[in-house]
Amino acid sequence: MTRPSRRLHDELFAAPALLECFSDRARVQGMLDFEAALARAEAEAGVIPAGAAARIAEQCRAEHFDLDELAASAVRAGNVAIPLVHALTSAVAREDPAAARYVHFGATSQDAMDTGLVLELRAALDWFDAELGRLNDTLAALAWEHRSTWLLGRTWLQPAPPVTFGMKAAGWLSATLRSRERLLALRRRVLVLELGGAAGTLASLGEHGLDVATRLAGARKLTLPELPWHAERDRLAELASALGILTGSLGKFARDVALLLQSEVGEVSAAAVPGRGGSSTMPHKQNPVGAAVILAAATRVPALVATLLSGMTQEHERGLGGWQAEWDTLPELCLLASGALAHALELARAVDVDARRMRANFEATGGVVLGEAVALALAPHLGRPLAHALVERACRRAAAEGLRLVDVLAAEREVTSHLSSEALEALCDPERYLGLAETWVDRVLESHARRPSRDEPCP
């Protein structure tokens, strides 16, 4: 009989690499990697016989274990490490009963589960770094290509003075650059060994505790922490937060694109992957699937971060409830963030800018968004309040009567007595009112060029 699965949306919401990374098999392999390395470290430290370590390590292959049986046993054991250790012990005993005595020697379930998790998280962090690198390169290319492609700015979902599409892309990029920076910086706090035995003292290993821990950390290329962190979970909460922030920034990107994709705006299209986003009923439809997935992740991830934070108040040496709350929450959070990132990369690559439509949308406003420019120019003559009020009135008239602002203003004595018609035209020319848009792009691209790599010591 097969056990019920729930993975219909797995590939939609998560990146394939991360699905592998947090699969049942990978979780079990993570724990087995811990057990194998523990045995070897203990053998090197003279705690257990070298032969036993070799026998144990040989059996530490996830594909030899029955995942369904482990899951069933976890119901009674309270976690999956206990039945796994039992199964591993039996497997070793079948080959070498003497060696079986040394399986999991001196460790506690949480040592295996936490270290196994950290090994999975390292693989996940490597993937995030690489994929973020790709996204950042793509956004940088967009920013550079459209450094000067101007369009309506929009604030409070209402028209505002013009910006450039490159500046928009640079804004998205600046956030994902900072996210990558955070994900690099936390590696040294997160990628640490867990080894403390029952209550964290490693008393089970007598005088060899520190030696074994040091060797084990070294073998798995993890940092040896100051002390075990069974009930101090800030390390995981930091990772969760950093991914939460990344997902939030991707959500902002997706929302922007989705708004630009509206048929009434139409300034961007996202060249459809064939078959992607069709409707079951509407032949004309191209649903922005990627944006939907990213926004769904941005809706779900914040709550998962809160769960990790709420679960931090873990009792004494190892907690009751808080730790268990992490087991599925952190992988799910990583998966959702990975899906958002993968879809963001695909979306960024698909974005196609329609500069003509951008111009048309600007024209359709009558240019009232440049009222600010005129008001500022009039301010020295009339004072800011008066200038603001005059232009506000003109904007309303332009909107109400479907006129261009420049034409309404050109008919106002109070304007023409201070501004020549050339000056007025210039003030109402969006291309002349882009301020630092291109400078901002350059600054972000510079920062992108300077980005730290994972191989350098991180800042």
Catalytic residue numbers? 279, 318
Piece of 55-63, 122-130, 291-299, 411-419 that binds its own copies (CB under 8 A) = 291-299
Least separation, in Å, of the C-beta of 44 and its own copies? 18
Piece of 35-43, 114-122, 130-138, 290-298 that binds its own copies (CB under 8 A) = 290-298
Q: Could you say which of 60, 180, 244, 345 contacts its own copies (CB under 8 A)?
A: 244
Least separation, in Å, of the C-beta of 48 and its own copies? 9
Q: How many Cα neighbours within 13 Å face the side chain of 233?
A: 30
Measured from the Cβ of residue 4, the count of other Cβ atoms closer than 10 Å reads 5
Q: Quick check: 417 binds its own copies (CB under 8 A)?
A: no
Distance (Å, whole) CA 429 – CA 452: 40
Q: How many Cα neighbours within 13 Å face the side chain of 412?
A: 21
Amino acid at 81: A
Q: Which helix (H) or strand (E) holds 152?
A: strand 150-155
Least separation, in Å, of the C-beta of 187 and its own copies? 13
Span 419-448, contacts to its own copies by CB under 8 A: 433-437, 439-441, 443-444, 446-447
Distance (Å, whole) CA 416 – CA 3: 80
Span 55-114, contacts to its own copies by CB under 8 A: 67, 70-72, 74-82, 85, 89, 97, 100-109
Q: Could you say which of 29, 115, 136, 307 contacts its own copies (CB under 8 A)?
A: 307
Least separation, in Å, of the C-beta of 442 and its own copies? 9
- Residues with Cβ within 8 Å of residue 277, at least 6 apart in sequence: 285, 286, 287, 288, 289
Contact 267, 356 (CB under 8 A): no
Q: Could you say which of 1, 8, 352, 422 contacts its own copies (CB under 8 A)?
A: 8
Q: Could you say which of 123, 141, 198, 426 contacts its own copies (CB under 8 A)?
A: 198
Q: Which helix (H) or strand (E) holds 49?
A: none
Amino acid at 378: L
Q: Could you say which of 59, 138, 142, 200 contacts its own copies (CB under 8 A)?
A: 200
- Residue 319, classed as helix, strand or coil, is coil
What is the DSSP-derived secondary structure letter of residue 3? P
Burial class (CB in 10 A: 0-12, 13-18, 19+), 459: exposed
Span 372-411, contacts to its own copies by CB under 8 A: 372-373, 375-376, 379-380, 383-385, 388-389, 391-392, 394-395, 399, 405
Least separation, in Å, of the C-beta of 456 and its own copies? 14
The C-alpha torsion from 327 through 226 and 213 to 182, rounded to 10°, is 50
Binding pattern for the stretch 309-328 against its own copies, x by CB under 8 A and - elsewhere: xxxxxxxxxxxxxxxxx-xx
